[in-house]
Amino acid sequence: MESHHKIGFREIEHTADAALKVYGDTFEQLLLNAACGMNSLMVKDIDVLIPRIKKYIDIEAQDTESLLVEWLSELAFWAETELLVFTRFNFLKVTTVRVQAMVAGARAKNIEKHIKAVTYHDLKIIKSARGLETTIVFDV
């Protein structure tokens, strides 16, 4: 199934670093919205990127929160090392401890905000009236 994100994140205040509030009806949508939220921190004109470069991502973690951290860390790795920003996400299989996805993206001319790391700070995925929500703090 290919997912198309609607606005499911917003940047919130953090004194030293960057933080996002992320929402999703499902965990898969939470992963998608978190990735789009991180993109919004990194790249200004995301819409000009034509997603021609594909990668297969297969990540396992010990719990759901850790999986979210690992997922974003993987995407941040490609942005740092190859300026590669993924904008299309085809989730092949998502469980609470594993995500398999085919992602597509393009090389950005410039990464405006360097995501040094995705932290576990106060990380909890909670169920709310909107489905799932979480707050992610990035070291920038």
Partner 1 sequence: MINIRDFKQIEEYLYEVPATFRKDMRVPARFYSDPQLLHGVLGDRSLEQLVNTATLPGVVKYVLAMPDLHQGYGFPIGGVVATKLPDGAISPGGVGYDINCGVRLLATHLDHDEVNPYIDDLASALYTNCPSGVGKGGSLGLQSKELDQLLETGTHWALKRGYATESDIERTEESGCLEGADAGKVSQRAKDRGKNQVGTLGAGNHFIEVDVVDKVLDDSAARGIGLFPGKIAVQIHCGSRGLGHQVCGDYVKRFQKSITKYGFQLPDRELVYAPLSSPEGQDYLAAMKAAANYAFVNRQVLTFHVRRGFEQALAGKVKNYRVYQIYDIAHNMAKIETHLIDGRKVEVCVHRKGATRAFGPGSKVLPAAYRDIGQPVLVPGSMGTSSWVLLGTDSSMTQTFGSTCHGAGRTMSRKKAKKTVHGAGLRETLEAAGIRVRAGSLPGLAEEAPIAYKDVNRVVNVVHAAGIAKMVAQLRPIAVIKG
Closest distance of CB 2 from partner 1, Å: 28
Measured from the CB atom, the residue of 53 and 65 that comes closer to partner 1 is: 65
Confirm or reject binding of residue 70 to partner 1 (CB under 8 A): yes
48: which residues sit within 8 A by CB, 6+ positions away?
A: none
Confirm or reject binding of residue 52 to partner 1 (CB under 8 A): no
DSSP letter at 2 equals B
Window 5-24: residues binding partner 1 (CB under 8 A): 11-18
What distance in Å separates the CA atoms of residue 87 and residue 71, rounded to the nearest whole number? Answer: 14
Measured from the CB atom, the residue of 12 and 48 that comes closer to partner 1 is: 12
Confirm or reject binding of residue 62 to partner 1 (CB under 8 A): yes
Confirm or reject binding of residue 130 to partner 1 (CB under 8 A): no
What distance in Å separates the CA atoms of residue 29 and residue 2, rounded to the nearest whole number? Answer: 11
CA torsion sign, 13 to 19 to 24 to 26?
A: negative
Closest distance of CB 78 from partner 1, Å: 11
Closest distance of CB 36 from partner 1, Å: 17
Measured from the CB atom, the residue of 3 and 84 that comes closer to partner 1 is: 84
> Alpha carbon of 19 to those of 3, 67, 122: distances in Å?
23, 18, 11
Q: How many CA atoms lie within 13 A of 97 on its CB side?
A: 3
59 token code pair: 């990540």
The footprint of partner 1 (CB under 8 A) covers 11-18, 44, 61-63, 65-66, 69-70, 73, 77, 79-83, 110-114, 116-123, 137, 139-140
